[in-house]
């Protein structure tokens, strides 16, 4: 396996795949991730991942030569999907609504393999519990600028680590890509991740 296409401009997903030593080429999707209140948050994540993948596979054309992966993360507060906050007020309201309680983070993954065939799709869900957050704590976090490109208004791997009281499930699902499941899925289809180092040695 001489690498993977990542159908996402997310720096976190790129970092996660590279942390496995994978040779990653980013091909961002132009899909707009529209809201769809008719879908559950989990279904919404699956829809977004599927559409991102479809967009990028169409861009690459039928002769793409390596697995192509798209993913989408949705924060689920009692059945309501929390997207990326548009401004400070929305970020503040989201974080206040998560304070002192549990929510679920769904990350859906869609993978297309060379040679056609149906895309492989799965979705992992992890429960996250926040500490009670004071207004000052929320304001400080918003001032860091971190909430704005992240579903639910926080990223667990940054300063929001201080907001989290506990998680139940896969940490990487909350970060935006369930790495263990991705690697096992690729292996089950005959792709063993060849590291960037090994690729350069050929």
Domain locations in the chain as residue ranges: 4-201
Q: Choosing from 55, 65, 72, 197, which is the catalytic residue?
A: 72
CA distance 174 to 155: 8
* Percent with pLDDT over 90 in the chain: 72
Catalytic residue check, 72? yes
CA distances from 68 to 28, 120, 122, 150, 195 (A): 11, 10, 14, 22, 16
How far lies 65's CA from each of 60, 68, 143, 181, 184, in Å?
9, 9, 43, 22, 20
Cα separation, 49 vs 151, whole angstroms: 14
pLDDT digits (tens, 9 = 90+) for 92-142: 999 999 999 999 999 999 999 998 788 999 999 999 999 999 999 999 999
65 near 27, Cβ under 8 Å? no
Segment 7-14 shows an average pLDDT of 90
- Is the CATH code 3.90.930.60 the one for domain 4-201? no
User: What share of the chain in percent tops pLDDT 70?
Assistant: 94
């Amino acid at each position: 396996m001489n690498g993977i296409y990542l159908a996402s401009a997310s720096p976190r997903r790129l970092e996660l795949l590279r942390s496995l030593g994978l040779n990653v080429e980013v091909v961002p999707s132009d899909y707009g991730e529209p809201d769809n209140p008719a879908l559950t948050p989990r279904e919404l994540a699956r829809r977004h991942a599927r559409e991102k993948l479809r967009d990028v596979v169409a861009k690459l054309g039928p002769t793409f030569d390596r697995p192509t992966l798209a993913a989408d993360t949705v924060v689920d507060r009692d059945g309501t999907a929390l997207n990326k906050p548009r401004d400070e007020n929305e970020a503040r309201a989201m974080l206040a609504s998560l304070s002192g309680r549990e929510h679920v983070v769904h990350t859906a993954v869609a993978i297309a393999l060379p040679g056609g065939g149906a895309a492989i799709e799965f979705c992992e869900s992890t429960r996250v519990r926040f500490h009670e957050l004071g207004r000052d704590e929320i304001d400080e976090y918003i001032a860091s600028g971190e909430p704005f490109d992240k579903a639910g208004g926080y990223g667990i791997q940054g300063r929001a680590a201080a907001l989290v009281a506990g998680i139940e499930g896969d940490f990487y699902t909350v970060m935006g890509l369930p790495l263990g499941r991705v690697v096992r899925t690729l292996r089950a289809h005959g792709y063993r991740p060849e590291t960037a180092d090994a690729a350069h040695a050929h």
